[in-house]
Amino acid sequence: MMKNELIITNARLVDPASGKDAQGALWIKNGKIKDVQWGNAPEAPEDVETRDARGNVIAPGLIDTRVSTGEPGHEYRETLESASNAAAAGGVTSFLLMPDTSPVIDDGALVDYVIRRADATSKVKILPSAAISKGLKGEDLTEFGLLKAAGAKAFTDGDSSIQSTSMLKNAFTYAKNFDMPILHHVGDRELIGDGVMNAGILATGLGLKGIPHEAETIPLARDLQLADMTGVRYHAAQISCAKSAALIDFAKQQNDQVSAGISINNLCLNENDIGSYRTYFKLNPPLRAEDERMAMVEALRAGTIDILHSAHDPQDTEGKRRPFAEATDGAIGMETMLSAALRLVQEEQISLLQLLATLTINPAKLLGLDSGRLAKGAPADLIEVDLNYPWVVSETNLHSKSQNTAFEHARLFGKVMTTWVNGKTVYTENA
């Protein structure tokens, strides 16, 4: 057996980058894809290890553009190591780390710290983002050039939304000059106010203050105009309603530097899931009505929404076991993201190729990565998925340090069986 070589045979190769979905074989050598054979593959050399995929899907590893952890500062919620374990189990081979740590990732030394800690402890590739504003306060810009030089892959204020139009214009201008993407969460602070869920009849019935769609669409309209003015690579981090999708669609007709993302929560859940004040469903942006969720599915299918992400945000029990209005926002999601999204494929609302594009090649393009594709010379960041594997989500069996999943007890079909990063196996189901 030759070292660092593996040929995966009898596979359903799904490569969104080329639009191909067919039987074939894949040859991995020294952490990269050496060859891709579509159709009937030639017999493997005797001195190379082979693996029979048994007809399972082999696809590029997922790239998650929105992951929060507790490290540094709140390691009791999640460490880089535990987050990487959750990522590997969910088929996520690379993820963009949000800067909302303690201290905030707003200078080069902290970017370097994350890179070194990830190299030492993580099974997957952790890509640091850097804050747009110092301390995420929305008042003073960070040093974009120094942060890029340190290794930051994007600029974002995480779940904080910059309210100052002039400051955001300056941020877009600097990001354009450094050829870096801006991933901005849109939210009008005054319109959100004390709101804790989607504004509407359900919120009124539960006695909770609502968040109107306009809290998202008004700052989004502003951002899109600033993006057109400055030419920045702008990504609306997570939209949740039909009016936002319409704004994105219109902007894309004028500006090819605009993209949009959505969380698995807003794609697969709605406000009714809150039920009797279930705080695991207190999220940002809030879960919307079912017709809005369906509009998001259509926007994803049509390509208006480019990227699907987990919005992985571990919270401890103390933060969640409170009255709904006082509970912290957020849910973990890397381990369940793909399986939950496969419901749309099973219901024929979107093709497997389209879905995987939003999880692989599209985020790779946004972040300037050479992964996300099945091609000669690409990193061997891969997943094997059994589309018919039945399982039930249980928070006690998840790999994250926190257990605040919005998919507890969900019955899902389709699961990652194996995850490879640079050709190395980092997860095997039931191993």
DSSP-assigned states of every residue in 234-273: EEE----SHHHHHHHHHHHHH-TTEEEEEEHHHHH--GGG
303 half-sphere exposure, CB direction, 13 A CA radius: 7
Residues 117 and 236 in one domain: yes
CATH of the domain at 116: 3.20.20.140
Rounded CA gap, 157 and 135, in Å? 9
pLDDT in tens, 107-128: 999 999 999 999 999 999 999 9
Residues 349 and 204 in one domain: yes
pLDDT in tens, 270-285: 999 999 999 999 999 9
Bond preceding residue 72 cis, omega within 30 of 0:
yes
pLDDT at 2 over 70: no
pLDDT (average), residues 229-242: 98
Answer whether residue 407 is part of any domain. Answer: no
pLDDT at 431 over 70: no
**Confidence grade of residue 308 (pLDDT, cut at 50, 70, 90):** very high
Residues 383 and 256 in one domain: no
Residues 120 and 217 in one domain: yes
CATH of the domain at 31: 2.30.40.10
Answer whether residue 373 is part of any domain. Answer: no
pLDDT (average), residues 186-200: 98
User: Domain limits at 213?
Assistant: 60-367
When the pLDDT of each residue in the chain is averaged and rounded to a whole number, the result is: 96
- What does the pLDDT read at residue 1? 39
Angle at 377 between CA 22 and CA 355, to 5 degrees: 40
pLDDT (average), residues 131-144: 98
- What does the pLDDT read at residue 44? 80
Residues 360 and 419 in one domain: no
β-partners of residue 208 are none
**Confidence grade of residue 430 (pLDDT, cut at 50, 70, 90):** confident
Q: What tokens were used for 248?
A: 């994105």
Residues 40 and 155 in one domain: no
Looking only at the bridges linking them, the beta strands covering 382-392 and 57-60 are: antiparallel
β-partners of residue 198 are 211
Looking only at the bridges linking them, the beta strands covering 382-392 and 307-309 are: unpaired
Residues 209 and 332 in one domain: yes
pLDDT in tens, 316-348: 999 999 999 999 999 999 999 999 999 999 999
Neighbours of 191 (CB within 10 A): 17
Residues 193 and 286 in one domain: yes
pLDDT in tens, 84-104: 999 999 999 999 999 999 999
pLDDT at 214 over 90: yes
The number of folded domains in the chain is 2
Residues 347 and 384 in one domain: no
Closest C-alpha among 405, 375, 359, 412 to residue 96: 359
Residues 273 and 144 in one domain: yes
In the chain, % of residues over pLDDT 90 = 96
Answer whether residue 200 is part of any domain. Answer: yes
Three-state secondary-structure class, residue 181: coil
Answer whether residue 408 is part of any domain. Answer: no
Residue with tokens 């980058």: 17
pLDDT at 372 over 90: yes
Answer whether residue 155 is part of any domain. Answer: yes
